[in-house]
Amino acid sequence: MIAIKRALISVSDKTGIIDFAAALERQGCEIISTGGTRKVLEDAGIRVTGISSVTGNPEAFGGRMKTLSFQIGSALLFDREKDAEEASALGIAPIDLVVCNLYPFAEARAQGADLPALIEHIDIGGPTMVRAAAKNYTYVAVVVDPGDYPDLLNELAENGGAISKETRFRLMRKAFNHTADYDALIATTLDGQAGELSVRLAFDRAKKLRYGENAHQEGYFLRQRDAARSYYDMNVLHGKELSYNNMVDMYAALESLRDMRTHACAVIKHANPCGLSSGDDQRKALEYAWAGDPVSAYGSVIAFNSTVTRGTVDFFELDAEDKSRRKFVEIVVAPGFAPEALDYLQLHKNLRIVEFDPRLLTPARDMKFLHGALLYQDTDMETWEKTECVTALRPKIDPELLDFGLKAVRQLKSNAICAVRKTAAGYCQLLGMGCGQPNRLNSTELTLARCRENLLNAWDGAGDPEAYIRENMAETVLFSDAFFPFPDNVEIAHAAGIRTIVQPGGSLRDKLVIGKADELGVGMVFTGMRHFKH
């Protein structure tokens, strides 16, 4: 335990500092301070020793020089045991506590300060004091976060004005992270001023996951330290621990819904939506999403963009006497859960129930970490650049369905094709999808096969099933994430009954593709915007 008899306080963020300093003073601690901090404390009636009386030098150059000195540096850095005699001979009295947060560079940057103003917001003396105190944590405590004041005061009160080594070690680590983040922000900002992009990222709060992508791999989940909002901040309400793959699949599920405007549900398998639907009723959206691929929905991740109701989760039949009727899913994630819905879902002891709002997933940038390298890009949040009909047949696409289809194909891994429709009840539904294939023709074939299977499942048994399928396929819109390189995709889509195709355009063979669509009587719309996702 180290008794706090002498403290140096110099803060830009004055939050809570008066109460903190007053408590130190009541415990008999001498307080040394500088400039604006000294004035705030003295105006509050707290006795303060001016920094100049310690350094023997004036505060100079508009405040650029205050704490940088042999006296302050020595008072923080000397070893209290082996250097005690030398310190005494040099007239150095120890400083036991540094309370310091740095010039508000981030705020100046956020306000659009120019280079000269940014330079004036670069702290020099503060980081020096913080790092010196942190290095000598064996004898000195350092506080950089006003949020630590209450706990620190409690510890001082409980220990007769002393702080434990455990606390000093924790504060030391926080201090070095603080100065590292501060310097990283300055460096990247100044690089930006020079027109050069540089990126420095820091992550902490590591949670160990059940395992990585496979059971023999360790996996961890960390939070970006300076992120105002983070996927890490999810609230796990129930179920087994989450694995690496759970985190990836759940993120894909939330991404699928982040800009849906009505009740929406996504069914995710291996980071791709195998089911997706939106409409006026949450339960119906779930039913249509599940119907998109009932087989793949087994062991899936289910996401909603609105508070989950009991009527919705009854669909899973978790309490059915016939266990074969119970629908097995890995995770249900939503912005919230009605209490009775949460109680019902908890009937499945291993089901992960996670609270997170997909609307919070609006990152400005996407990043992929490769070995010793980083890929960095704008997030794909757009849908189309234009809607240009390029064929003789001019299809009328429901604007809601157009928006839904583009958001669906945007979420699928390339090469991506999907088919969407408006159901008789007015719900947008992903009827079929094919993705992650080496060529676009494979993806188109997979999509059409899935559509056919789902329509057969929906057929009520009346009339000719082939007529039913063709009638519904004619009302279904096929979407492609990138241009069609050859007319063959149009040919097999037409053969399956598709009459409307939406694609970005931009191929050298666009005229051939459009010509084939005109020959077959297929309407085609160009959007001018590709949506590759790798």
pLDDT tens per residue across span 484-493: 999 999 999 9
Output the pLDDT for position 487: 96
Q: Are residues 356 and 370 in the same domain?
A: no
Residue 533 lies in a domain: no
State the pLDDT at residue 298.
93
Same domain, 384 and 354: no
Would you state the pLDDT for residue 35? 86
How many structural domains are present in the chain?
3
Residue 359, pLDDT score = 95
> 384-425 pLDDT, tens per residue?
999 999 999 999 999 999 999 999 999 999 999 999 999 999
Mean pLDDT of 190-211: 95
Same domain flag for 31 and 157? yes
Q: Are residues 349 and 414 in the same domain?
A: no
Q: What is the mean pLDDT of residues 231-260?
A: 96
pLDDT exceeds 90 at position 46: yes
449 & 422 share domain: yes
End position of a domain, from candidates 166, 193, 220: 193
Domain boundary among 315, 337, 360: 360
Looking at the fold, whether 511 and 374 belong to one and the same domain comes out as yes
Which stretch of DSSP H or E encloses residue 50?
strand 49-50
| Domain presence at residue 210 | no
Rounded average pLDDT over 31-37: 93
Peptide bond preceding 415 in cis form (omega within 30 of 0): yes
Mean pLDDT of 65-77: 94
388 shares its domain with 356:
no
Neighbours of 498 (CB within 10 A): 26
Residue 223: inside a domain: no
- Predicted confidence (pLDDT) per residue in 496-529, tens digit: 999 999 999 999 999 999 999 999 999 999 999 9
Q: Does residue 220 lie in a domain region?
A: no
| Best CA proximity match to 72, nearest among 89, 87, 84, 85 | 87
Domain CATH number, residue 261:
3.40.140.20
Indicate whether 374 and 354 sit together in one domain: no
Indicate if 183 and 44 belong to the same structural domain.
Answer: yes
Q: State whether 154 and 48 are in the same domain.
A: yes
Which domain, by its residues, includes 462?
365-526
pLDDT band at 59 (very low <50, low <70, confident <90, very high): confident
Q: How confident is the model at residue 63 (pLDDT cuts 50, 70, 90)?
A: confident
Return the CATH number at 97: 3.40.50.1380
Average pLDDT over residues 277-294: 97
Q: Give the tens place of pLDDT for each residue, 136-163.
A: 999 999 999 999 999 999 999 999 999 9
| pLDDT at res. 2 | 93
**Residue 200 placed within a domain:** no
26 lies in the same domain as 66: yes
CA dist., res. 422 & res. 440, Å (int): 24
Q: For residue 371, what pLDDT band results from cuts at 50, 70 and 90? A: very high
pLDDT at 226: 85
**Residue (of 263, 262, 234, 412) closest to 333 by Cα position:** 234
pLDDT of residue 93: 96
- Write out the two tokens for 333: 């994630």
pLDDT at 62 over 90: no
Catalytic positions: 135, 270
Contacts of 331 (CB under 8 A, 6+ apart): 239, 242, 246, 249, 250, 253, 301, 302, 351, 352, 353, 354
Q: What is the pLDDT of residue 186?
A: 97
Average pLDDT of every residue of the chain: 96
CB 60, CB 117: distance < 8 Å = no
Banded model confidence at residue 434, pLDDT cuts 50, 70, 90: very high
